[in-house]
Amino acid sequence: MVIILYSILGLIGALITFMVIRTVLTKPIPVPKSEFVPNGVDKDLVAQHLSGAVQFETVTLTNPLSETDVFFKLQEYIEKCYPCIFERAKKTLINRYSVIYVVEGTDKDLLPIAMLAHQDVVPAPIEGWIVPPFSGEIKDGYVYGRGSQDMKSQMIASLEGLEILLKDGFIPKRTIYFCFGHDEELRGTEGAKQISKYLQDKGIRFEYVLDEGGTILDGKMLGIDNKIALIGICEKGYADFILEVEKPGGHASSPTRRTAVGLLAEAVYFTELSQRPTFFAKPTKDMFKALAPYMKPIFKFLFVNRDILSPLLRLVLSKAHPMTNSLVRTTITPTMAKGADAPNVLPPRASANINCRINTGETIELIHKHIKKVVGKNVKVRIDDGSVNPSEVSDITSPGYNILKKTIAEVYNGYITAPFLFIAATDSKHYYPLSKNVYRFTPFEKTEDDASRIHGINERQDINALAVGVEFYIRLYQNSCN
């Protein structure tokens, strides 16, 4: 018995020694000295351009057949703002309101790159705003208004960067596509998906595609004395599951023993309680692998040995913060419910929506089976037509990814880059037939307060951060198209 005990202790000691040595040997990669010299972007001018773009009320069309000229007016506006681009760009309208602009490069042997943005914005009820939501007012160092962050700022910055270079005589070797959809907030099926189909039919392939997504974070939350720039290399799947219960209706004064709403409420309760197990998808493993060398000793020990300590780390991450919880599991979230239209009526039918963001490695079909098992036979579960599985995972060894890393390190003074599983949905998921190198990065530093304003009241874009975002695009074009 003593021999067995000593053997166990010896194995534990050997394992700990191995983990410590592994941690010590994990070293950060030195950041090369930057040769980038900022161009001195006119931040007042770019703020005015964004302000003007915000003033167009390009709210997503809920009916694809709706007629409007507001998207055309926005396009006319940006074409006037950037004469050097649009004296040479070829324009193609897709499905009426989405648009492709192509600036031809001199070397036809180089695959082009694609800069994505969406023209549409979510609605903005005026209540609670300190300025009208579509005023584009410039106030206290910010551009206010719906779409100022999501995502007209990125559209403007991507154009502004190329305009500045062209004015200075820059001639791109590589062709640049600007692809601006019009219904990203409704999953991009009428906009980005149709753009992608059009480009597929023409046989176009891209070196890489860049869309909104990964953000810049303070590394202190992971024990890193630096900022972290996360590049989204994939995105979670999106699925809405509709729970439906049918029972005889009637008057609420004489209810049946189990009502449709009662059964539905029980199903919603147990569905929310029955979350999927946590696991590290490959993109999340790659993120921790990239960040671990820069962490302080305790954090570094934990994340270098993430394979051994996985159960503990997953438990901590699932409890620490809603965002970290989203990184390690499929989330299952009730969002809407409907019963009777009057308070004294028993509805013959009650329904609820369960919104799921599906982790890489799981599928719509798997989550469908999971929810059906949880709610039982008395509740129907159907999948909304707009649901999509997790995207493919982009290559983190490609030239495009390395160009993004290099550009971020240069423009943002050595910020650490890491791949990232983007937990929301973007237009970029539709572009995988055109490139295996689809990335998501939003080049604006923002406070937690400003990030929380996206889709909320008083959305605003910091003007200084906007100017740095323009510098990012300038350097990205130089690194990609010289």
Residue owning tokens 């914005």:
121
Which residues on neighbouring strands pair with residue 210, listed in sequence order?
115, 439
User: Distance of CA 196 to CAs 99, 179, 180, 199, 284, Å?
Assistant: 11, 9, 11, 5, 27
Radius of gyration of the chain (CA): 25
CA dihedral 336, 337, 343, 346 (to 10 degrees): 170
443 three-class SS = coil
Full-model pTM: 0.93
User: Distance of CA 355 to CAs 133, 331, 382, Å?
Assistant: 28, 8, 12
Structure tokens at 385: 């037509």
Residue 307 a catalytic site member = no
pLDDT in single tens digits along all 482 residues of the chain: 778 877 777 788 888 888 899 898 889 887 766 777 777 899 999 999 999 999 999 999 998 888 999 999 999 999 999 999 999 999 999 999 999 999 999 999 999 999 999 999 999 999 999 999 999 999 999 999 999 999 999 999 999 999 999 999 999 999 999 999 999 999 999 999 999 999 999 999 999 999 999 999 999 988 999 999 999 999 999 999 999 999 998 888 888 888 999 999 999 999 999 999 999 999 999 999 999 999 999 999 999 999 999 999 999 999 988 989 999 999 999 999 999 999 999 999 999 999 999 999 999 999 999 999 999 999 999 999 889 999 999 999 999 999 999 999 999 988 999 999 999 999 999 999 999 999 999 999 999 899 999 999 999 999 999 999 999 999 999 999 98
Q: What pLDDT is attached to residue 294?
A: 96
Q: Of 120, 137, 160, 471, which residue is the catalytic one?
A: 120
Rounded Cα distance between 322 and 319, Å, is 8
43-221+391-481 maps to CATH 3.30.1330.10: no
Q: Of 163, 183, 184, 211, which residue is the catalytic one?
A: 184
User: What CATH architecture applies to the domain 234-383?
Assistant: 2-Layer Sandwich (3.30)
Residue owning tokens 């719509």:
364
- Cβ neighbours around 456 below 10 Å, total: 13
User: Distance of CA 385 to CAs 83, 182, 244, 272, Å?
Assistant: 41, 19, 16, 22
Break the chain into its structural domains and give their ranges: 43-221+391-481, 234-383
Does residue 60 contact residue 192 with C-beta atoms inside 8 Å? no
Residue 184 a catalytic site member = yes
Q: What pLDDT is attached to residue 251?
A: 85
